[in-house]
Amino acid sequence: MNEFMAVLRRDIKLAAAQGGGLGMAIGFFLIVVSLIPFGVGPDLNLLARVAPGILWIALLLSVLLSLDRLFQADYEDGSLEHLVVGRAPLEFIIVAKVLAHWITTGVPLIMATPILGFFLNLEPDAFGILVLTMLIGTPALNFVGAAGAALTVGIRRGGLLLSLIVLPLYVPILVFGVSAVQSSMLGPDGSMQTMMILAAFTLASAALAPIAAAAALRANLR
């Protein structure tokens, strides 16, 4: 547990000291979302209808943007070798790193979502449910992405390959995330089931992705 907290604290501190990664992710999120009205035209009804989908897609692209550095810095400076053979299982350490990454990029991105919702004429009633589905669903994005990041850690400019590996796996999370918001627009309680499925994705990925990521990291060190 000491090792878990040590890595969690260090990664949060590093993200705060560096700053660049988070600013970039939020800036990217903002620009992608604000491009949409220019592309589809000022049809407010149309924008309101596609808003949840666009916000989710922009969010998962922003998360992906910062994911390729998740293990890369540790790999390059030699820290990873020591994390791999530490007393705590590597799988735990990976959970700590993913959690730190979610806290430092996922949560701020989610907090920015309601503001961007205004750009897209999203109904104010839907803001709460949108933020809630994102809080439930985005950890799955980080966990699945971590497995991809571990696979591509040894490759220079592995970001593109990471997208090819990870984006198809994001499809179910995207489908249920968006449909939870849309069904809440139709009436109360409409989104409960989809939220549960989203939570199941997050829990399953939190259980399975660290095992895959640990195996990939070990193989990359050989």
Partner 1 sequence: MKLSADKLCCARGGRPVVSELSFSLSSGDGMMLSGPNGSGKTTLLRAIAGFGEITGGELHLDSLKDTDELSQACLYIGHHNAIKPQLSVQENIDFWASFGGGDVAAALASFSLEPIKDVPASMLSAGQRRRVGLSRLALAKRPVWLLDEPATSLDKASTKTLSQLMQSYLDEGGILIAASHTDFDITLNKNLVLGDQGTAL
Q: Which residues bind partner 1 (CB under 8 A)?
A: 2-3, 5-7, 9-10, 13-14, 17-18, 73, 76-79, 81-87, 218, 221-222
Identity of the residue, 11 or 68, whose beta carbon is nearer to partner 1 in the bound complex: 11
| Contacts of the segment 190-197: beta carbons below 8 A, 24+ positions apart | 191/129, 191/133, 194/133, 195/132, 195/133, 195/136
Identity of the residue, 77 or 189, whose beta carbon is nearer to partner 1 in the bound complex: 77
Measured from the CB of residue 29, what is the shortest distance to partner 1 in angstroms?
Answer: 23
Identity of the residue, 6 or 175, whose beta carbon is nearer to partner 1 in the bound complex: 6
Identity of the residue, 96 or 178, whose beta carbon is nearer to partner 1 in the bound complex: 96
Handedness of CA 199, 201, 206, 208 (dihedral sign): positive
| Tokens matching residue 56 | 């989710």
Measured from the CB of residue 10, what is the shortest distance to partner 1 in angstroms?
Answer: 5
Measured from the CB of residue 102, what is the shortest distance to partner 1 in angstroms?
Answer: 20
How far CA 84 is from CA of 9, 79, 96, in Å, comes to 18, 9, 13
How far CA 153 is from CA of 61, 100, 150, 159, 178, in Å, comes to 19, 18, 5, 9, 31
Identity of the residue, 96 or 162, whose beta carbon is nearer to partner 1 in the bound complex: 96
Identity of the residue, 8 or 36, whose beta carbon is nearer to partner 1 in the bound complex: 8
**Which residue type, as a one-letter code, is found at position 191?**
S
Measured from the CB of residue 2, what is the shortest distance to partner 1 in angstroms?
Answer: 6
| Tokens matching residue 190 | 């409409």
Measured from the CB of residue 7, what is the shortest distance to partner 1 in angstroms?
Answer: 7
Distance CA 164, CA 199 (A): 24
CA-based radius of gyration for the chain: 18
Calculate the CA 101 to chain-centre distance: 8
Calculate the CA 50 to chain-centre distance: 20
Measured from the CB of residue 83, what is the shortest distance to partner 1 in angstroms?
Answer: 8
Measured from the CB of residue 56, what is the shortest distance to partner 1 in angstroms?
Answer: 32
